[in-house]
Amino acid sequence: MSVDWTDKVVVLTGAGGGIGRAIAEKLASEKMQLVLLGGNNVEKLNTTARMVEKYSSCMVLPGDLTSIDFIKKSILLIAELFGAVDVLINNAGVAQNTPFEAVSLTEFDKIMAINLRTPFVLTQKTLPLLKKSSQPTIINIASVVSHSGYPFQSIYSASKHALLGMTKSLAREYYKENIRVHAISPGGVYTDMVKVSRPDLSPEGMIMPEDIADAVRFLLFSRSNAVIDEICLHRAAKEPFC
């Protein structure tokens, strides 16, 4: 069943580049209205906004996604301006490349705060606006490490395991309320974050951000009674991620 998403409101985190920017461009090209939420690099967010505004409207709300006060104020503003949210995409994340014994509590807390607590808080605060939509959808960008573990990524892996678990639970909890909840778990995507977490990887054969954007579009435009709770994308390499 094809769904019309024209003028529907998308709240997207992590839109300053990489996967988030590709998603923003893809959904704006479908005439969806974008709210780029969070992030302190205003220049990067504004660059994304300029790229998508040739297709559709776009609002930038920079700020600290680990601040509950920032999220509350942002959701109140979105409610005032739009009345409802149709799609929430939790994409913001931080990577790790640290031996387990060297992980500090500060690093642990930072990874968990961005990769898990932020999606939890933002989803919880956005649900009242999602319930006002005729086709509410939540998409969490997880990772192949939601299933597997890699050296020096113990806490990153833990955060993404938890995010996937939360996604699967929410998909069943809110199905009867017509809210679809999905996770996309890609392998290596050629972004700046992967360059940090897996400096050993070559970009050859890796997934591109546009591939993730295509998966997001598929989930939205293929909305039906059949529930897809996760899409796992692999890179075209001899050594698979999953």
**Distance of alpha carbon 184 from alpha carbon 113, whole angstroms:** 20
Please identify which of the residues 156, 174, 175, 190 carries the catalytic annotation.
156
**Distance of alpha carbon 119 from alpha carbon 115, whole angstroms:** 7
**Distance of alpha carbon 28 from alpha carbon 49, whole angstroms:** 10
CA angle 217, 14, 19 (to 5 degrees): 45
3-state helix, strand, coil in the chain (%, to 5): 45, 15, 40
Strand boundaries in the chain, DSSP class E: 9-13, 33-37, 58-61, 87-90, 137-141, 180-186, 230-233
Task: Say if residue 43 is exposed, middle or buried (CB neighbours under 10 Å; 0-12, 13-18, 19+).
Answer: exposed
- State yes or no: is 156 an active-site residue: yes
Residue with tokens 């996309």: 184
Which element (helix H / strand E) includes 26? helix 18-28
Residues forming a β-bridge with 87: 10, 137
Cβ within 8 Å of residue 57, ≥6 positions away:
33, 34
φ and ψ at residue 202, rounded to 5 degrees? -95, 145
Here the tokens at position 133 are: 């939509």
The residues carrying an active-site annotation are: 156
